[in-house]
Amino acid sequence: MADVSPEISPDIVPTGVPTAARVYDVMLNGKDNYAIDREVAAASLAIMPELRDIALHNRAILHRVVRYLAAEEGITQFLDLGSGLPTVRNTHEVAHEVNPDAHVVYVDIDPIVLAHGRAILADNPNTTVVTADIRDPRAVLEAADVQRLIDFSRPVCVMLVGILHHLADEDEPGRIVEVLRDAVPSGSYFFITNFTRLGDAPESVELERQLLEQLGSGRVRTPAELAAFFDGLEVLPPGLVPLPLWRPEEPVLDASTIDVRFMTGGVGRKP
């Protein structure tokens, strides 16, 4: 795997510090990452070899949810928070297959996400990338490019896909979701996925320890803690479930494996 794409200058990013966005890119077999990110990914995979499949499950549910909301619910605005790199068939590609006029804003704290986004989205007026910290949700909502592309008087899908587990409890992820929920109108949707603590799988505890040590973030939450993020929302069927079980396109032959169960998610509608 080569280092970050040649059009992205290494001068603009700290190459010696791993980031969640680039580690996720490693798991998706992407090419926009550095050696330090691959080291963290390798250490995580040593604890839980299923993590690469889990990352693919997370990307697959993104495809299903975005396609459903765009095609069946008429959602034309997607605010993808903690998005990671806009590669490997991400939100804008799926949404634009249904509606080329859909607006997508990616938000991430990693400067390489902005650099890469500018490179690949330069000719796409309906999609942009914003560098911001979702721990300050009001600043995110007030960012000029967010305001330019997202009309908060109309329904929007707020996406928190695989990002809340990178926030510690003291970052108050529930408060962040509450601020975002209050900012969007009735008929908006929240799409959330999170690492899930498995009582019978010590790997989940060890993985949390390793991520906190090497990446500085990684909070594996219980199903009840995940459910709290959906307070005030109407959860769509089939509820909050392991990712491959959310409206699968093919039968899930064994739902008991760690790769199926380790991440849970769902979609909620603001009434």
Q: How far apart are CA 196 and CA 242, in angstroms?
A: 9
Mean residue pLDDT of the chain comes to: 88
164 or 258, which is more confident? 164
pLDDT, average across residues 78-91: 87
CATH of domain 10-269: 3.40.50.150
DSSP 192-215: EEEEB--TT-HHHHHHHHHHHHHT
**pLDDT score for 13:** 52
**pLDDT score for 216:** 67
Q: Are 263 and 255 in contact (CB under 8 A)?
A: no
Q: How many CA atoms lie within 13 A of 33 on its CB side?
A: 26
Percentage of residues in the chain having pLDDT higher than 90? 58
Q: How confident is the model at residue 15 (pLDDT cuts 50, 70, 90)?
A: low
Question: Per-domain residue ranges for the chain?
Answer: 10-269
**pLDDT score for 2:** 36
**pLDDT score for 166:** 87
H or E element, residue 223: helix 223-228
Could you read off the pLDDT of 216-270 as tens digits, one per residue? 667 889 899 999 999 999 999 999 999 999 999 999 989 988 889 889 999 999 9
Could you read off the pLDDT of 16-54 as tens digits, one per residue? 788 877 888 888 888 888 899 999 889 888 887 888 998
198 or 124, which is more confident? 124
Query: Tokens 């959330």, residue?
Result: 192
H or E element, residue 61: helix 51-72
Q: How far apart are CA 145 and CA 69, in angstroms?
A: 23
Q: Residue 245: CB partners within 8 Å, gap ≥ 6?
A: 238, 252, 255, 260
**pLDDT score for 215:** 65
Amino acid at the residue 74: G
169 or 155, which is more confident? 155
* Residue of 143, 137, 142 whose CA lies nearest to 158: 137
Q: Tell whether pTM > 0.85.
A: yes
Q: How far apart are CA 205 and CA 124, in angstroms?
A: 42
DSSP 236: P
pLDDT, average across residues 179-199: 94
